[in-house]
Amino acid sequence: MEFTEWIRGRTDDQLRALVSARPELITPVPAHLEGLASRAGSPSAVARVLDRLDRFTLAVVETLAVQDGPVPRQRLRELVGAALSDDSGPEPALTAALDRLCDLALVYGADDALDLGPGVRKALEDPAGLGPRAVDAFRHHAPEQLEEMADDVAPGTSGTGKERLAAALAAPGKLVEAVSPEARGALDQLVWGPPTGRVPNARREVRVGSARSPIEELLARGLLAATGEESVALPREVGLYLRGGRVHRDLLAVPPPLQGSARDRQLADRTAAGQAFWFVRSVEELCERWSIEPPGVLRTGGLGVRDLKRAATELDLPEWAAALVIEVAHAAGLIAAGGGVDGEWLPTPGYDLWRIRATAERWVTLAATWLHMDRMPGLVGTRSAGARQERAGAAMPTSGEAGATIKRSDERDRPLNALHTDLRRSSAPGIRSATLGVLASAPGLAPARDSVLERLAWEQPRRRGPLREQLTEFALREAEQVGMTGLGVLSAHGRGLLDGADPAGVLAPLLPEPVDHVLLQADLTAVAPGPLTSELNRWMTLTADVESKGGATVYRFSETSIRRALDAGHGGEELVSMLARHSATPVPQALSYLVTDVARRHGRIRVGTASAYIRCDDPALLDQITADRRSAALRLRRLAPTVIASRSSRAALVDSLRAMGYAPVAESLDGDVIISQLDVRRTEAVAPARPVAAQNGLDPGVAAAAVRALRAGDAAHLARREPMDAPGGQVPRGPATATISALQEAIKQGVRVWIGYTDSQGNATSRILEPARMEGGYLTAYDETRAAVHRFALHRITGVSGL
């Protein structure tokens, strides 16, 4: 049976299943089923769907690929069963695999003649680790050399040298038995793949009688074929003979069991909830700190190494975890580059909207962003930052590329920075989903790393390689840090996020209850006995410095931290009042004195623009400044008893005076104090859109419309109908809303309609259509008046009438 006829004989349900599983086949919709069949056999489409097969299903494809033609189902069952590593038998796994392969149009035909679809054999390089067939392996050999080889291995036979040699290799038992043990050992190294090797002077001309080495014995008998000047391959027929007729070795019909440690699921959920809370708090703290002191944007893009180290220190996290926090916050649109010509990393207005939401909802936003983003924070700081085809959006290396050397550095071999564009990997979302899918299959179990890698190798055997393993390890480590997993076990709220349920509702009861008070101590510290409320945490971060974290967070008040709050617009009495309101203990006298003293001195000196000037109502204080040796570099000049001018900028002058122990404030040209409002600095740059994971399959309505269009186009293609004349009379006209409704109803009912249409030149025409689908402002339909499938702009349709 021809593949196109097999496709044409599929039911509508089966075609919908095909285009839903392989949406690339209808992008755009082919004109007919013959076009669909042709597209299904294209190399790119076949390779893409092969990458999604598990090890057993791929083994079924490879088993069919090494056969000469269609294979009966019973014979396929015997071949697959012989390769299984246990005695469980190939059923029911074989039936399920064949059903899936037929749904994907990779295998077609009746049970007595199963065969691979067009293009599948070409897409498989060395299927099952077997080399090329003999006729292909020796296609570049000279005819004279093939005649000599055939005379040695098959004397007295008729035909060309290639035909005689291929016939002898079809049953190579006598040839294999005739070689020396050393030559047989060389063959054994290639039996289970890879089927190629390197030898010097592979194309040497050698006869059986003149062979002096094990390699020459094999070359003379055709048991090895020279495919290059220094490369040889084991012919497929010889490999199958040496395998004893088996196509695979140690094949598993079911996924390998996961090995690991059992965990209490409730404890794992609570642990993951704690991690989720602190991840949210880390993102919030990062944004608050960058509101006050934003780091600069490198000229090459990204975040500087020193800024990353500082962020890690401030967040009390390892550098890789700090990079994860930064990358997720950026991907979620909470921070972006802005703030001037050189650029700074600042929170976005979206951060303010995110901050006021409930903690569980905030975590869902961050976790979904991490799961779907195409960036790999784990590569930050490495000099090996990912294969170039990954940056270009290429697929992961197939099994044939597993041993390839992966270049993972930029052009100058520099370490990759956080927020750099080179951290993008198109395969990142798929790897995270696949890794978490493995954890989801074993509730209450914390699988070992090697066990997870083994399972993923079975589920996606063509997507393997050193980079794949490294990214999988990153996914496991980051899932724990984000709070998707706890103690290595997928949490209930993590499972809810994967399944599209309500993770926020599951997570909220497990989160620690925030406290709205601190314990002030006489040594100018404050102890937070638990996680603080969002507002109190922001206020404490502004007013004090974090000294230590753990079960309780310790904050330390200092002159610098108090002045930071005063610069942001808070008054001294307001600070004391806030401390008294949020402290479970009385405000220590030393802290009250510190706040009062800093507030009393704060703003006595005013700095404006001359290029800058100093103004103070106390001339004696200005005398003290001018007499200070440390002010010599400021080049001060006394203009009046209460005014000093300087050539330094206002910002530099403020910083210098503060370094000398004074407490100046900046003022505007009108003499008003400039309140820094450092805690609310925001960028006006547009935050990056959060990537959305691609859906698995199409929307059912789209798939049904595509199948109807394919059926209609195929019917027209087979009938070769002549164009139909449009009815006479007035061209249909009507309101746009009525036109859209009528077309939608026609698509649902599968009926023909008569439309009025204005072409690109403005000419009014009418068409008889069989609508198939409507999207993006266009109608796809079979045009009876043109006998072809066309797309029509909806705004050009003047009206619809039934037939």
Say yes or no to pLDDT of 308 above 80: yes
Indicate if 413 and 561 belong to the same structural domain.
no
The per-residue pLDDT for 609 is 62
Distance in angstroms (rounded) separating the CA atoms of residues 3 and 193: 31
Say yes or no to pLDDT of 611 above 50: yes
Say yes or no to pLDDT of 688 above 70: no
Distance in angstroms (rounded) separating the CA atoms of residues 258 and 266: 21
The per-residue pLDDT for 404 is 31
Do residues 416 and 454 make contact, with C-beta atoms less than 8 angstroms apart?
Answer: no
Name which of 103-117, 513-527, 613-627, 781-795 the model is least confident about: 781-795
pLDDT, average across residues 71-100: 89
The per-residue pLDDT for 407 is 34
Distance in angstroms (rounded) separating the CA atoms of residues 481 and 435: 15
Do residues 233 and 227 make contact, with C-beta atoms less than 8 angstroms apart?
Answer: yes
Work out the pLDDT band at 342, boundaries 50, 70, 90. low
Identify whether 509 is part of a domain.
no
Q: Name which residue leads in pLDDT, 132 or 719.
A: 132
- Residue 565 one-letter amino acid: A
pLDDT, average across residues 352-378: 93
Say yes or no to pLDDT of 132 above 50: yes
pLDDT, average across residues 107-125: 91
Name which of 332-336, 495-499, 788-792 the model is least confident about: 788-792
Say yes or no to pLDDT of 397 above 70: no
For 464-512, write each residue's pLDDT tens digit.
Answer: 777 888 899 999 999 999 999 999 999 999 999 998 888 999 999 998 8
Work out the pLDDT band at 394, boundaries 50, 70, 90. very low
The per-residue pLDDT for 728 is 65
Name which of 354-363, 425-434, 744-753 the model is least confident about: 744-753
Mean pLDDT across the chain, nearest whole number? 85
Do residues 47 and 734 make contact, with C-beta atoms less than 8 angstroms apart?
Answer: no
Name which of 229-238, 519-528, 625-634 the model is least confident about: 625-634
Number of other CB atoms surrounding residue 181 within 10 Å? 7
Indicate if 569 and 666 belong to the same structural domain.
no
Name which of 394-408, 488-502, 662-676 the model is least confident about: 394-408
The per-residue pLDDT for 467 is 81
Q: What percent of the chain has pLDDT over 90?
A: 34
Identify whether 386 is part of a domain.
yes
Work out the pLDDT band at 727, boundaries 50, 70, 90. low
Work out the pLDDT band at 666, boundaries 50, 70, 90. confident
Identify whether 779 is part of a domain.
yes
User: What 3-state DSSP class applies to 679?
Assistant: helix
Say yes or no to pLDDT of 695 above 60: no
Indicate if 100 and 163 belong to the same structural domain.
no
Q: What is the CATH number for 7?
A: 1.10.10.10
Domain boundary among 614, 646, 672: 672
Determine the straight-line distance between the first and last CA of the chain, rounded to whole angstroms: 39
Q: How many domains does the chain have?
A: 6
Indicate if 122 and 138 belong to the same structural domain.
no
Q: Is 153 exposed, middle or buried (0-12, 13-18, 19+ CB in 10 A)?
A: buried
pLDDT, average across residues 659-681: 72
Identify whether 595 is part of a domain.
no
Indicate if 531 and 665 belong to the same structural domain.
no
Say yes or no to pLDDT of 85 above 60: yes
Say yes or no to pLDDT of 768 above 90: no
CB neighbour list of residue 632: distance below 8 Å, 6 or more residues apart: none
The per-residue pLDDT for 400 is 34
The per-residue pLDDT for 312 is 93
Distance in angstroms (rounded) separating the CA atoms of residues 281 and 679: 16
pLDDT, average across residues 209-223: 89
Identify whether 506 is part of a domain.
no
The per-residue pLDDT for 433 is 93
The per-residue pLDDT for 376 is 92
Indicate if 121 and 142 belong to the same structural domain.
no
Name which of 382-391, 666-675, 775-784 the model is least confident about: 382-391
Work out the pLDDT band at 413, boundaries 50, 70, 90. low
Give 764's strand partners: 758
Say yes or no to pLDDT of 536 above 90: no
Work out the pLDDT band at 385, boundaries 50, 70, 90. very low
Indicate if 462 and 354 belong to the same structural domain.
yes
Q: Name which residue leads in pLDDT, 475 or 569.
A: 475
Measured CA distances, 407 to 388, 421, 472, 474, 530 (Å): 7, 17, 18, 18, 46
Name which of 36-50, 449-463, 551-565, 779-793 the model is least confident about: 779-793
Say yes or no to pLDDT of 384 above 80: no
Indicate if 486 and 534 belong to the same structural domain.
no
Work out the pLDDT band at 257, boundaries 50, 70, 90. very high
CB neighbour list of residue 728: distance below 8 Å, 6 or more residues apart: none
pLDDT, average across residues 711-738: 73
Say yes or no to pLDDT of 549 above 90: no
Specify the DSSP class assigned to residue 583: B
- Residue 329 one-letter amino acid: A
Indicate if 271 and 384 belong to the same structural domain.
yes
The per-residue pLDDT for 390 is 39
pTM score of the predicted model: 0.72
pLDDT, average across residues 752-766: 85
Indicate if 327 and 424 belong to the same structural domain.
yes
Q: Name which residue leads in pLDDT, 682 or 488.
A: 488
Residue-wise burial string across 296-318, b where 16 or more C-beta atoms lie within 10 A, e elsewhere: ebbeeebbbeebbeebbebbbbe
Identify whether 691 is part of a domain.
no
Name which of 267-281, 293-307, 389-403, 676-690 the model is least confident about: 389-403
Distance in angstroms (rounded) separating the CA atoms of residues 224 and 207: 13
pLDDT, average across residues 311-325: 93
Q: What is the CATH number for 743?
A: 2.30.30
The per-residue pLDDT for 339 is 61
Domain boundary among 126, 143, 159: 126
pLDDT, average across residues 715-723: 64
Indicate if 285 and 431 belong to the same structural domain.
yes
Q: What percent of the chain has pLDDT over 70?
A: 90
Nearest to 802 by CA among 776, 769, 774, 778: 769
Identify whether 551 is part of a domain.
yes
Identify whether 700 is part of a domain.
no
Indicate if 86 and 153 belong to the same structural domain.
no
Nearest to 102 by CA among 91, 114, 112, 113: 114
DSSP percent split of the chain into helix, strand, coil, nearest 5 = 45, 15, 40
Domain boundary among 82, 101, 126: 126
Nearest to 93 by CA among 57, 59, 51, 52: 57
Say yes or no to pLDDT of 386 above 50: no
Q: Which domain holds residue 755?
A: 721-802
pLDDT, average across residues 157-183: 90
